[in-house]
Amino acid sequence: MTDLLDEAARLRRGLSGDASHDLGDRIVESLYTDAARIAATSVDRDDARAKLTVDRALDRVLTHRVWGFVAMGVLFFGVFWFTIAGAAVPSDLLYQLLVENGHGWLRGLFEAVGAPWWVTGLLVDGVYLATAWVIAVMLPPMAIFFPLFTLLEDFGYLPRVAFNLDRLFARSGAHGKQALTMMMGYGCNAAGVTATRIIDSRRERLIAIITNNFSICNGRWPTLILMGTIFVGAVVPPALAGVVAAGSVVAVVIVGIGVTLAVSWLLSRTVLRGESSVYTLELPPYRPPQVLRTLYTSIIDRTLKVLRRAVLMAAPAGAVIWLVGNVHLGDASVAAHLVTALNPVGWVIGLNGVILLAYLVAVPANEIIIPTIVMLTLTLGANTLGAAPGVMLELGDDAQIGSVLVGVGGWTLLTAVNLMLFTLLHNPCSTTVLTIWHETRSVRWTTVATLLPLGLGFAVCALTALIWRLVV
């Protein structure tokens, strides 16, 4: 069949000038000439100006050098605030239903049918409790965050954000649309990684994938907020506690954006060098979003899918938590051995062995970090609160968690600050790692995306701990 191609090449040469190049232009030009003619004869514009100025006025504000950033801050703060505040009540309800009541009821059921203690422990105290916790913690914020985000998307606002921030990304050698995938990452990194499909160039897409983990996802917000509230807010007088606690969380977010730009810059100048691709962003007109449709699709398409994966990951993790707490090797549980082994490393980076073990167990889903830490602390510390070993304690109250961590775990402000930093800078959850592999089909880049943030976390935390111990 190649003779046909030869013939095409011959005819192409026969056309005047630099044929293939001119030819493409001529074809597109003739398309646009026809399009312009047809449009001119079919379209009748009346007072076209009058209405378009509404869009323009909106754009003047939303891309203004001062108000543009103010609006961006307010909108995103609003989305996060709505997510955190709005999720509190339904999360509590789910918590009461699934964890407090459901767990007791299920335990009673297992005991009533005479199940062996280890079956009850593994399935009810391990698998069920971890899964219930993840649903209670994750479902409400996701069900709020995803629709709100989709509404902003439908309204046509997100391309304006990319437009406003493009220069920062251009200077880091990244694609302007990376701003959009980052924002998806604040909901869920797996979703953010999938969203990088909007970036055509492989080089820039890899940068966006590797740095997406520096956008704090839903699973990590609770840890940050809890640490900010219990430890950082407690440093200042009660009147200021709320503001300082929120400020510490925002500070971590800003550090995350800085790290994103720095790592992008570093990658684009080393292993992922190359030309910036042509940036064909179009600013669509603003459109009133379809609220009901958005609610439906974002709950079905995004929330339930992400939740399903999280649950699939949490169930086995719950089993592991119970097993390491209850299987004994010699005189101590597996957990105790691991914590003892991890403690020296933990000390160097200003954390402790329990936290590191919790991160190992919680690879599947970041949202079980705090419950795992508390459970391990209680199991391994003095059994002062009389909890059964290996049960994720049902602690509803922040102050109670705080007193356990300080009293039994020996935590300080440094532990909390470094845990906040480590929350930002560590390996992505296994769902995200799997998604990265799925999107890149490269073991090498998946490894880089997994280990680079972890290495960065160790370095930053060790540095913070070193300075802290020298100064304080």
Partner 1 sequence: MTLDELPRGQRAVVTALDLRGGERRRLMDLGLLPGAAIRADMTSPLGDPTAYEVRGALVVLRRGQARTVHVEQAGTGEG
Partner 2 sequence: MGTPLPTPGVGPSPDHSGGACASCALSPASSRLGLDPGRYDHVVALAGNPNTGKSTVFNALTGLRQHVGNWAGKTVARAEGGFSYGGAGYRIVDLPGTYSLLSTSTDEDVARDVLLFGRPDVVVVVVDATRLERNLPLVLQIRQITGRVVVALNLVDEARRHGITVDTRHLTRELGVPVVATAARRGEGLPDLLAAIAQVATADDPPAPLRLVHRDPALERAVAELAAQVEARFPGVPNSRWVALRLLEGDAGIEEAVRTGTLGDLAEVDGTAPLHAVSDPQERSA
* 3-class SS of residue 329: strand
Single out the segment in contact with partner 1 by CB under 8 A; choices: 66-74, 76-84, 328-336, 373-381: 66-74
Phi-psi region of 427 (alpha: psi -120 to 50; beta: other; left: phi over 0): beta
Using CB under 8 A as the binding rule, whether residue 38 contacts partner 1 is answered as no
Q: Is 428 in the site for partner 1 (CB under 8 A)?
A: no
Task: Give the residue with the Cβ less far from partner 2, 154 or 166.
Answer: 154
CA distances from residue 107 to 91, 128, 131, 323 in whole angstroms, order as listed: 22, 10, 15, 17
Q: What does DSSP assign to residue 195?
A: H
Cα–Cα distance for residue pair 149/209, rounded to 1 Å: 20
Residue 71 contacts partner 1 per CB under 8 A: no
- Cα separation, 138 vs 152, in Å, equals 21
Q: Show the binding pattern over residues 257-296: x = contacts partner 1 (CB under 8 A), - = does not.
A: -------------------x-xxxxxxx------------
| Among positions 8, 85, 291, 451, the unique one binding partner 2 when judged by CB under 8 A | 8
140 is a site residue for partner 1 (CB under 8 A): no
Coil, helix or strand for 341? helix
Q: Tell the residue number behind the tokens 């606690």, with chain if given.
A: 245
Among positions 143, 165, 378, 424, the unique one binding partner 1 when judged by CB under 8 A:
165
Examine residue 38 and tell whether it contacts partner 2 (CB under 8 A).
Answer: yes
Name the one range near partner 2 by CB under 8 A: 1-9, 62-70, 216-224, 451-459.
1-9
**Under the criterion CB under 8 A, does residue 64 sit at the interface with partner 1?**
yes
Q: Between 155 and 163, whose beta carbon lies closer to partner 1?
A: 163
According to CB under 8 A, which one of 18, 45, 65, 114 is a site residue for partner 2?
Answer: 45
Residue identified by tokens 């998307």 is 153
Given a contact cutoff of 8 angstroms between Cβ atoms, the answer to whether 411 and 355 are in contact is no
Q: What is the largest CA-CA distance in the chain?
A: 91
Per-residue tokens: 84: 């955190």
The site partner of 47 among partner 1, partner 2, none (C-beta below 5 to 8 Å per kind) is: partner 2
- 228 lies in the site for partner 1, by CB under 8 A: no
Interaction of residue 36 with partner 2, rule CB under 8 A: yes
Binding of partner 2 at residue 51 (CB under 8 A)? yes
Are 435 and 194 a contacting pair, CB within 8 Å?
yes
| Neighbouring residues of 291: CB distance < 8 A, sequence distance ≥ 6 | 151
CB nearer partner 1, residue 279 or residue 437 = 279
Q: Which stretch binds partner 2 (CB under 8 A): 74-82, 93-101, 177-185, 290-298?
A: 290-298
Identified binder of partner 2 from the candidate list 74, 200, 400, 466, rule CB under 8 A? 200
Binding to partner 2 by CB under 8 A, coded x per residue (else -) over 302-341, reads ----------------------------------------
Candidates 159-167, 186-194, 352-360, 368-376 — which segment interacts with partner 1 by CB under 8 A? 159-167
Instruction: Tell the smallest beta-carbon distance from residue 147 to partner 2 (Å).
Output: 15
- Tokens at residue 302, please? 């995004």
Between the alpha carbon of residue 374 and those of residues 22, 31, 101, 191, 321, the distances in Å are: 69, 66, 20, 29, 12
Q: For residues 228 and 274, what is the distance between their CA atoms, to the nearest angstrom?
A: 40
Interactions with partner 2, residue window 221-240 (CB under 8 A): none
Residue 123 near residue 141, CB atoms below 8 Å: no
Q: How far is the CB of 290 from partner 2 (least distance, A)?
A: 6
**333 three-class SS:** strand
Rounded Cα distance, 261 and 172, in Å:
6
**Among positions 273, 293, 328, 469, the unique one binding partner 2 when judged by CB under 8 A:** 293
15 binds, among partner 2, partner 1, none (CB under 5 to 8 A by kind): partner 2
Burial class of residue 2 in the structure, from the number of CB atoms within 10 Å of its CB (0-12 exposed, 13-18 middle, 19+ buried): exposed
Query: Which of 242, 195, 244 lies closest to 215 in space, CA to CA?
Result: 195
Q: Could you tell me the smallest distance in angstroms from the CB atom of residue 105 to partner 1?
A: 56
Alpha-carbon separation of residue 284 from 156, 163, 186 (angstroms): 6, 12, 23
How many Å apart are CA 67 and CA 167, to the nearest integer?
17
**Of 215, 220, 212, 186, nearest in space to 423 by CA:** 220
Window of 19-27, 313-321, 328-336, 344-352 that interacts with partner 1 by CB under 8 A: 19-27
**Residue 12: contacted member of partner 2, partner 1, none (CB under 5 to 8 Å, by partner type):** partner 2
Which of 197/328 has CB closer to partner 2? 197
Contact 134, 367 (CB under 8 A): yes
Question: Which parts of 416-445 interact with partner 2 (CB under 8 A)?
Answer: 439
281 contact, one of partner 2, partner 1, none, CB 5-8 Å limit per kind: partner 1
Least separation in angstroms between CB 264 and partner 1 = 16
Name the residues that contact partner 1, by CB under 8 A: 21, 24-25, 28-29, 32, 36, 49, 59-60, 63-66, 68-69, 163-168, 170, 176, 276, 278-284
